[in-house]
Structure 1
Amino acid sequence: MTEAQFYRHQNYPQGMKAIINPESFVTVTDLFEAKVTRFGNLPAFSCMGTTITYSELDRLSSQFAAYLQFETDLVPGDRIALQIPNILQYPIAAWGALRAGLIIVNTNPLYTERELEHQLNDSGAKAMVVYAGMAATALKVQPKTPVERIIVTEIADMHSPLKRILINNVVKHIKKMVPAYDATATESFRQVLSAGSYHKFKPVHTGHDDPIVLQYTGGTTGVAKGAMLTNRNLIGNMMQCYEFFKLSLNEGEETLVTPLPLYHIYAFTVHCMVLMYTGNHSLLIPNPRDIPGFVKALQQTRFTGFVGLNTLFVALCSNEDFKKLDFSSLKLTISGGMALTKAAADQWQQVTGCSINEGYGMTESSPVISFNPPGASQVDSIGIPAPGTDVMIVDDDEKPLPMGEAGELWVRGPQVMKGYWNRPGDTKKTITAEGWLKTGDVAVLQPDGYLKIVDRKKDMIVVSGFNVYPNEIEEVLAGHPDIIECAAVGVPDAKTGEAVKVYYVSKSDIADDDLIKFCRKEMTAYKVPRLYERKDELPKTNVGKVLRRELRDPAQ
């Protein structure tokens, strides 16, 4: 295949570089150690009224690293799962694990037993740090996985003693948010930090192309696979994002609101990488679904940046107290994870006075592929390719197409993953021998270099920014005794962007509520279909493959 028609953007706005250097730091821990020294007294992360500085993050993460090195049998290259929401313990555990040479396995705290068991087994994780509300599930799953130790943290573990006791007791005993678990079978995060304080952490040097994060994604099949993100990937994407963000944000002066989960690569790259590089401050929001609590946190903070997605923008702009906030300092709003609608963008602009800059990416690309530069944003576009990123639009025969024609978007650059963990076959299907990542999205490259997504080649459904894969839903529902066959598709939804709808053939009538209850036992809440339609038969190809497109778009 010729590469004569691949494109690399050069006409960036003034102040941006067309070339980045992914070798700026050999490893992310080199970056960390340089920046915590430089920005030591500046705030790094805040949550529920408590702030840790870069110096404190350095000290606490080194204690966690020392514990891993001297109090466990873990060695560099071993995997450690982090199942923690947006609380201060996440960056402490993440940077501590990386400094000890371990590979982070970012794990969704909402996972069911089935989902968690698969990820722990697939990654081979030997340890995990888990929020107390998920400890009972982790302990149930542990005997069926390689996990040897479970470290449990309560939500307010990093707060002052009185505040810690008060908040943890309210969460546990009044709000009933922590199911009972056997604490004797786990270790306490606070005790772990204390144990680590008695040892001197020894720096571990990983390689530039060594994987340091396993970020799980369904890819195109729905079978969760670990995207191997290396030092080079994360440093490269950090430098690419920095070129965009620096048009609006200054070093060491900004506070960015952080409602999206740090275990998701979008938030991880922005808040744990780019803001580390620039010495800026993240305001962690543990539960963004609690809009009143979210708004209360914003009332107490002068924020200059906001990182979100379409459904969150809509929910906030519908809240009267949010509309009353002081937005005079807000300079940059970043959108990703799902398509941004014009209605949501217009409403946000009207309420806050700040426009939204939309970007596009994939787990497999660390994740940012393109972004709308501040001051040069185009509505209904995913922006221009990140510096150092090659893009190519190909037809169904994988032949390059000229500008202006729609085809599958392929990308190549320092942010493209090393491959899928222990899945060379899947890696070969996704990344070509020349290093091109097949995104599965149908795009158009405009003459000015801006990209526009026009369709999705995959059947993936995006619910509130989370990827939902039809195969997984269909596999679960196939286990229902009355379901003969089924197909899951995405349908438009004003609140979540897309909703999951299931068409099914069954032996008898089944109430929707019964199907919902059945799915809830096996799937995280955002994956559970809410819409069902019984049919006599499903549309199929002549070889028997269900035509999801006909169900999704009946007119076609």
Structure 2
Amino acid sequence: MDRELQDAARLRAEVEAEPFVRNLGAYLDGLAQEMGDAPAANFFEAGTVLSYREIADKTRALAAGLSARGIRFGDRVGVMLPNIPAFPLTWLALARIGAIMAPINARYTPREVAYVLTDSGAETLVIEAGILAEIAQAPELKDLAALENPIVVGSDDPAGSSTQSWQHLAETDATGFAPAREPELDDLINIQYTSGTTGFPKGCMLSHRYWLTLSRVAAMRANGIVRNVLAAQPFYYMDPQWLLLMAMRLRGTLFVAAKASGTNFLDWVRRYKLEYCIFPQILMKQPERPDDAELPLKMVSIFGHRREMHATLEKRFNLVARESFGMTEVGSALFTPYGASSMVGSGTCGIPSPFREATIRDENGEEVRAGEIGELWIRGPGILQGYWNKPEANADSFRDGGWFRTGDLFRRDERGFHYIVGRIKDMIRRSGENIAAREVEAVMLSWPDILEAAAIPVPDSDRGQEVKACLVLKPGVDGKAFPVDAFLEHCAAHLAPFKVPRFVEIRSSLPKTPSEKVAKHMIIAERADLRAGAYDRLARAWQPA
């Protein structure tokens, strides 16, 4: 074993040897006692700073209020909020009483909101007042229990209202409060929905152990040199949740942006002296500045960056950039050690993270040799406990011995470093968002003139991938007269904005496999530029063939 791997093995052993606290509530209380009034979270655009003590106290008070409301251990609660302090405070308050958060994308349509609430069985919804006003009268939500008496952030409980004020619950006197049942490490805290190939999102059952493990591994990757951390993603996604716990473990501060902004990103880094972030590849397109190498950033995580940009990124901004591989289901699966400078530009996702084992298997479940391609399987304590209410998905995803099939194709080199090759899963990834092609196709097929539909990814330098709709019209429908803008409006009415196709192609047929499945790889291979001859929603014009 060479020096880089020896150092990684030593660090892994240290991280795994540390005992866990009982649950996330104990984690918060211990840090509050140690750090007191030091800033833990800074919602800088709103001017709101929460100290370690305030997070502990506020989540305890809210937990008491939620308990008085009747929320109990194991209850599922939908949370549909923008990036405001109420989001993490609600999540951590629910964790204190053993309730389970089902986060809901604030940009979801009523149809998508109804799916998450129904699938999770959530009978309570915590929602921002403006969002509630937009969706409250939607017919898809008419008979859902969660909408009968929602907990509203930004509401003052007006007389006669069927809503309840989040703020009033958050001001509950928590003197002497204790949950009716103290949650343990392997009790659930999230049903975190992630897009899957079966169509609608699947809910990953995530425990206290999952989050404490992920935050510990993420803090390890920072190599002890980071205190100020940036979260520019929405809290209903994974990243800000683990970034908050990571920053607290580092005894630092999480700086939370209201929403992502490539224009403001580096200005935030400079203004708030941020030392760690998930670095968007698109920032490399910004003009170089003489002071780029003076950025306070010390270490960044990169995901899917082009390998030829890696060394340039490190040199331009005078920092360490490391690739890793993770997913909602398993947390951190692979990581490239801070000291593995020899791997810069290699494209590797790294070696197995602490608490994780990795193997690459062929289609028969047999382990492949170094250099051969197969599916990455992961196991270890604290991975998801399964998909909520999805026995078929669980049967397909788990194998004997606790192994979870990632659905991603990898190869491993002789040193044990892993490289992603592609996805088995029929997924499109746009601007960091996972989009299940089958969900998009279901909406497209509900348009009356469409006989067949396929959603495929189109490479895009700014967003990674864009969605393209390949349509076969019903007999007798004139393709030249197809109302493409009306069709896209139909998609926008039933899909979150990031799922709506950008490109549309009218075809005479779709290629098929012998089993009559659409052969999307053949569509993708038909032409070098998948935009050619397609309608571009942003340009509002058909592109030259």
TM-score bucket (shorter structure): 0.7 to 0.9
2:185 aligns with 208
1:225 aligns with 202
Q: CA deviation at 1:45?
A: 0.6
Q: CA deviation at 1:341?
A: 2.1
Q: CA deviation at 1:346?
A: 5.3
TM-score, with structure 1 as normaliser: 0.85
Q: CA deviation at 1:402?
A: 1.1
Q: 1:101 to 1:123 in 2, by over 3 A?
A: same
1:353 aligns with 318
Which amino acid counterpart does residue 496 of structure 2 have in structure 1?
A: T
> 1: distance between equivalents of 2:410 and 2:504?
31
The yes-or-no answer on 1:16 pairing with 2:11 is yes
The yes-or-no answer on 1:526 pairing with 2:498 is yes
Q: 1:415 to 1:341 in 2, by over 3 A?
A: farther
Q: CA deviation at 1:21?
A: 4.9
Instruction: Judge conservation of contact 1:67–1:199 (CA < 8 Å) in 2.
Output: no
Q: CA deviation at 1:323?
A: 7.8
The aligned length equals 509
**Deviation string for 1:297-356 (max 9, x for gaps)?**
445311111124434x34xx5278x886784421111124xx222365456435422242
> 2: distance between equivalents of 1:344 and 1:512?
38
Instruction: Judge conservation of contact 1:97–1:103 (CA < 8 Å) in 2.
Output: yes
Instruction: Judge conservation of contact 2:231–2:243 (CA < 8 Å) in 1.
Output: no
Structure 1 counterpart of 2:58, from 49, 57, 60: 60
> 2: distance between equivalents of 1:497 and 1:183?
49
> 1: distance between equivalents of 2:373 and 2:234?
33
Secondary structure of the residue that 2:16 maps to in structure 1?
coil
**Deviation string for 1:374-393 (max 9, x for gaps)?**
23152211111102311111
Report the RMSD for the aligned CA atoms in angstroms. 2.7
Structure 2 counterpart of 1:270, from 243, 247, 252: 243
**Deviation string for 1:523-552 (max 9, x for gaps)?**
111111101111100001233211111112
1:111 aligns with 108
Secondary structure of the residue that 2:329 maps to in structure 1?
helix
Secondary structure of the residue that 2:8 maps to in structure 1?
coil
Which amino acid counterpart does residue 124 of structure 2 have in structure 1?
A: A
TM-score, with structure 2 as normaliser: 0.87
1:94 aligns with 91
Q: 1:130 to 1:69 in 2, by over 3 A?
A: same
Instruction: Judge conservation of contact 1:64–1:193 (CA < 8 Å) in 2.
Output: yes
Structure 1 counterpart of 2:120, from 118, 123, 128: 123
Instruction: Judge conservation of contact 2:466–2:501 (CA < 8 Å) in 1.
Output: yes
| Sequence identity (%) | 28
Secondary structure of the residue that 1:263 maps to in structure 2?
coil
**Greater mean deviation of Cα atoms: 32-41 or 478-487:** 32-41
1:508 aligns with 478
Instruction: Judge conservation of contact 2:269–2:297 (CA < 8 Å) in 1.
Output: no
Q: 1:145 to 1:553 in 2, by over 3 A?
A: farther
1:240 aligns with 217
The yes-or-no answer on 1:494 pairing with 2:455 is no
Structure 2 counterpart of 1:307, from 274, 278, 281: 278
What are the residue-to-residue correspondences of 1:59-78 with 2, within 5 Å? 59-70=57-68, 72-78=69-75
Secondary structure of the residue that 1:201 maps to in structure 2?
coil
**Deviation string for 1:95-114 (max 9, x for gaps)?**
11111221111221111111
Secondary structure of the residue that 1:291 maps to in structure 2?
coil
Instruction: Point out which structure has higher relative CO (alpha carbons under 8 A, 6+ apart).
Output: 1
- Consecutive unaligned residues of structure 2, counting only runs of 5 or more, are 529-545
Which amino acid counterpart does residue 374 of structure 1 have in structure 2?
A: Y
1:172 aligns with none
Instruction: Judge conservation of contact 1:20–1:240 (CA < 8 Å) in 2.
Output: no
What are the residue-to-residue correspondences of 1:88-487 with 2, within 5 Å? 88-140=85-137, 142-147=141-146, 148-154=148-154, 184-194=161-171, 196-197=172-173, 200-203=176-179, 204-245=181-222, 247-249=223-225, 254-271=227-244, 273-289=245-261, 291-292=263-264, 294=265, 297-311=268-282, 313-314=283-284, 317-318=285-286, 327-336=294-303, 339-342=304-307, 345=310, 348-349=313-314, 351-365=316-330, 367-377=331-341, 378=343, 379=345, 380-487=347-454
> 1: distance between equivalents of 2:491 and 2:176?
48
> 2: distance between equivalents of 1:438 and 1:357?
24
> 2: distance between equivalents of 1:310 and 1:84?
27
> 1: distance between equivalents of 2:73 and 2:206?
16
**Deviation string for 1:248-273 (max 9, x for gaps)?**
435xxx111110222212332232x2
Q: CA deviation at 1:242?
A: 3.0
- Consecutive unaligned residues of structure 1, counting only runs of 5 or more, are 1-8, 158-180
> 2: distance between equivalents of 1:397 and 1:553?
27
> 2: distance between equivalents of 1:95 and 1:146?
23
Which amino acid counterpart does residue 52 of structure 2 have in structure 1?
A: Y
> 2: distance between equivalents of 1:371 and 1:491?
28
**Deviation string for 1:265-287 (max 9, x for gaps)?**
2332232x222222220000011
> 2: distance between equivalents of 1:306 and 1:26?
29
Instruction: Judge conservation of contact 1:308–1:335 (CA < 8 Å) in 2.
Output: yes
Q: CA deviation at 1:553?
A: 2.5
Q: CA deviation at 1:420?
A: 0.7
Which amino acid counterpart does residue 50 of structure 1 have in structure 2?
A: T
Secondary structure of the residue that 2:410 maps to in structure 1?
strand
Which amino acid counterpart does residue 336 of structure 2 have in structure 1?
A: N
Instruction: Judge conservation of contact 2:202–2:387 (CA < 8 Å) in 1.
Output: yes
Instruction: Judge conservation of contact 1:409–1:439 (CA < 8 Å) in 2.
Output: yes
Secondary structure of the residue that 2:472 maps to in structure 1?
strand
Instruction: Judge conservation of contact 2:335–2:352 (CA < 8 Å) in 1.
Output: yes
**Deviation string for 1:14-58 (max 9, x for gaps)?**
761236158512322222221122112211111123211111111
